[in-house]
Amino acid sequence: MSQYDVLCIGNAIVDIIARCDETFLRDNAIIKGAMNLIDAERAELLYSRMGPAIETSGGSAGNTAAGIASLGGKAAYFGKIARDQLGDIFRHDIRAQGVAFDTKPLAGQPPTARSMIFVTPDGERSMNTYLGACVELGPEDVEKDKAEAARVTYFEGYLWDPPRAKEAIRLTAGYAHGAGREVSMTLSDSFCVDRYRAEFLELMRSATVDIVFANESELKALYQTSSFEDGLAAIRRDCRLAAVTRSEKGSVIVRGDETVDVDAIRIDQLVDTTGAGDLYASGFLHGYTTGRPLGECGRLGSLAAGLVIQQIGPRPRENLRDAARRHGL
């Protein structure tokens, strides 16, 4: 029996979320809809210009881990924080949500990572991330017992930015595969794909990664095509299982010759798209690690994503297990 359903590995980030208009993005040279990496000085500048904000522990894979726990799954997490106020916030939040998190914090500098997230009226989020302590995640932070005990290890493509994190991912994947487990990743965003296209393809083609999560723009960026169909055909060849989200069009899941189309759920109002892909992955992986058919995995993903985009912030406020039951899942 596996001790964990999913082990998530990611940048441990505290999200600072505020609303803004399009003019604010232009005036501050913020690329809309992207994750922009920034230094400490720019982080302080943007923070000083923000309006009223919500602070919550975030980070892509951390959001996924929280979603899995909310669905009733057993989740663990690797991610580097510092021994500071934001680090305390992150540790408290993720543990309070039922996720096993034991990565040793940094005693000194750099400080815990933070992401200033600006949400425009259309619900789009533009992230400005200072990685801080995240860059210190390395092989020494890999807990072999957790890597071997999780049915699936899941990591975010953003981890390819901090250099030593790559070593940690490859080491974890080795432990996982050695124990007969599976490894999955999310491509994170199209700008991340542009930076690491060759390395991401190598991870897939070498079978270091078994399962890939992407959205439509990331898929097209990965294969440098304007055709969704061509991208889907290519990823079908390159990895064993892929789930591609398409916003209001739902998602498409491919495995070998199998194709499963999944509808998005109806929503009352789009509030904030932060965490949509992360929560889709949580729903899908919860279904997958509990042995459900691919279509049901996709529907769980759509439900979790559809609920989170109707609130501010990337962590589910309602119990997802109860929500799934109400929707017959």
In a domain, 306, yes or no: yes
Quick one: pLDDT at residue 2?
65
Kindly report, residue by residue over 78-104, the tens digit of the pLDDT. Answer: 999 999 999 999 999 999 999 999 999
Residue 283 has pLDDT above 90, yes or no: yes
In a domain, 74, yes or no: yes
- Domain span at residue 205? 4-11+60-109+136-326
- Cα 320 to Cα 235: distance, rounded to the nearest angstrom: 30
Kindly report, residue by residue over 140-192, the tens digit of the pLDDT. Answer: 999 999 999 999 999 999 999 888 999 999 999 999 999 999 999 999 989 89
Amino acid identity of 307? L
- Cα 217 to Cα 231: distance, rounded to the nearest angstrom: 10
Q: How many domains, the chain?
A: 1
Quick one: pLDDT at residue 184?
98
- pTM of the predicted model as reported, rounded to 2 decimal places: 0.89
In a domain, 129, yes or no: no
**Band of residue 46 on the pLDDT scale cut at 50, 70, 90:** very high
- Cα 176 to Cα 148: distance, rounded to the nearest angstrom: 5
> Shortest CA distance to 86 belongs to which of 174, 192, 180, 12?
12
Residue 175 maps to which CATH number? 3.40.1190.20
CB 192 within 8 A of CB 223: no
- Cα 244 to Cα 277: distance, rounded to the nearest angstrom: 10
In a domain, 262, yes or no: yes
In a domain, 118, yes or no: no
- Cα 182 to Cα 284: distance, rounded to the nearest angstrom: 14
Section 5-10 average pLDDT: 98
**Band of residue 57 on the pLDDT scale cut at 50, 70, 90:** confident
